[in-house]
């Protein structure tokens, strides 16, 4: 399926029940050349399977600097993290 120049990578069923087979999880990409692999991992603990995708590692140009931002989990608080997520406006505009 191609929509808005995106390609759907997941082609296998991601949910299997006693009455239906369906693809309910999507991975949409705009550049398939940057994707190494994708697929569905069947699990035994749920009727809803895991989807995944891996990308190619890009090499920075020679002579350029990279900045990497890290978040320390030393003082991680589940409650604080959830409160931060709840504070965002998630409505699409």
Q: Output the pTM of the full model.
A: 0.54
In sequence order, what DSSP letters do the residues of 44-91 get, joined into one string? SS-SB-EEEEEEPPPPPPTT----------TT--HHHHHHHHHHS---
Residues 9/38, Cβ–Cβ less than 8 Å: yes
Tell whether 47 is covered by a domain: yes
Q: How many domains does the chain have?
A: 1
Query: In this structure, is residue 7 part of a structural domain?
Result: yes
The pLDDT tens digits of the residues spanning 10-67 come to 888 888 888 888 888 888 988 888 899 999 998 887 888 999 999 887 776 777 777 8
12 in a domain, yes or no? yes
82 confidence band (pLDDT: 50, 70, 90): confident
In a domain, 85, yes or no: no
DSSP bridge partners of 50: 41
The pLDDT of residue 2: 53
Query: 10 lies in a domain?
Result: yes
With bands split at pLDDT 50, 70 and 90, how would you rate the model's confidence at 91?
confident
**Residue 68: band (very low, low, confident or very high) from pLDDT cuts 50, 70, 90:** confident
> Could you list the residue range(s) of the whole structural domain that residue 13 is in?
1-56
């Amino acid at each position: 399926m191609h929509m808005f120049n995106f390609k759907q990578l997941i082609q296998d069923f991601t949910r299997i029940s006693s009455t239906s087979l369906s693809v309910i999880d999507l991975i949409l990409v705009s550049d398939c050349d940057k994707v190494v692999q994708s697929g569905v991992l069947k699990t035994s603990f749920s009727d809803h399977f895991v989807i995944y995708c891996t990308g190619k590692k890009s090499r920075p140009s020679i002579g350029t600097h990279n900045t990497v931002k890290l978040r320390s989990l030393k003082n991680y608080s589940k409650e604080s993290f959830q409160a931060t997520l709840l504070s965002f406006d998630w409505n699409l505009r």
